[in-house]
Amino acid sequence: MPYSDVLSASSPDSGADRNALRETGRIPFARWCPSPNFGPRPEGVSISLLVVHNISLPPGQFGGREIEDFFCNCLDHSAHPYFEALAGIHVSAHLLIRRDGAVVQFVSLLDRAWHAGRSYFEGQEECNDFSIGIELEGTDDTPYTPEQYRRLAQVADLIMAAWPDITDRRITGHCDIAPGRKTDPGPAFDWEHFAAVLDDNRSARRGA
């Protein structure tokens, strides 16, 4: 399948992986697609927030390479009328989870990706400084796939083990840190289902 990121079903999830994540900032089972749109985190700022987004390019269309091109400043803005408004916009996320659950990483988790924009969480502004941004391939009103929930739970569990300041209550949506400006991941994202899948993932890992 063109541009498929389908991964092995046996993605690693060990203590060694979590220790390596703190050292490298790289999800071990993600395909690396480096974006130039990042910078250093402010000195002394700890990673303490996980932000869930959605994206599709063109809107509502899935499976192409346009998201990757956009985050890497390679998007052909003449290829679709919607893309014309994206010219000159430089953004990124740390991770993208595609509809089949495959993971693409654009920015090291140790660095500051440009995903949140003007934002605040519990009185702290500029969420890019202290957060990790994960994009789900989707739209506000398109149900996310079971594979996406499973992979998001696996990635979140791994990240939370590496950075324990990210607790369950510090996993939030883009709409919650930029209210009135952003709506993603939208009503299609089932937070209760995600919490249940995250709990199942933890139980399975601890019982392994």
Give counts: helices (H), strands (E), the chain.
5, 10
d(CA 6, CA 122) in angstroms, rounded, equals 37
Task: Indicate if 135 belongs to the active site.
Answer: yes
Catalytic residue among 125, 135, 147, 192: 135
Whose structure tokens read 């392994």?
Answer: 208
Give per-residue burial for 105-134: e unless 16+ CB within 10 Å, then b: bbbbbbebbbbbeebebeeeebbbbbbbbb
Tokens representing 105 are: 């990483």
Q: What is the DSSP string of 8-69?
A: -S-----HHHHHHHHHH---TTSEE---S-EEPPPTTPPP-EEEEEEE-SSTT--SSSHHHH
Q: What angle do CA 189, 139, 191 make, to 5 degrees?
A: 5
Annotated catalytic sites, by residue?
135
